[in-house]
Structure 1
């Protein structure tokens, strides 16, 4: 059975693709027109949106990894001390 992709991951990927697209388009237009004004408004706005999406995505991942009060790192440390885990 194929695992469904989480909505937050789809949203994060979409924002990342949009950011890359805007940067490439802006660079092309800056090269063609010689006008640097997109650097003042458009690029910072897009990267602010990307930073916000990234922060919320990492916050969600943190909550999922500590669901039920169990922290992944503490479980792995406990397994290593018991000799169960390892690489």
Structure 2
């Protein structure tokens, strides 16, 4: 049995007037959290976690589809896998 854990950091750009709505929508995505936002520039730093790369990619795509999002840039990705050997 193996366990996988994926985490990524994203920079999300929106218009300053949409930052509250976009931030709430990002926080509603599973395993997602807006860590820092700059209301003056419309930039949000987002952390996403998932149990598989497919789930993480689906969440990133969901972020891109949020109304008001202008751009999503991947700035960090890490994958950890642990496995247990069975006799």
User: Computing the radius of gyration over CA atoms, which structure comes out larger, 1 or 2?
Assistant: 1
TM over 0.5: no
As a proportion of its length, which structure holds more strand? 2
Output the TM-score relative to the length of structure 2: 0.28
- Give 1 or 2: higher helix fraction: 1
- Greater relative contact order (Cα 8 A, min sep 6): structure 1 or 2? 2
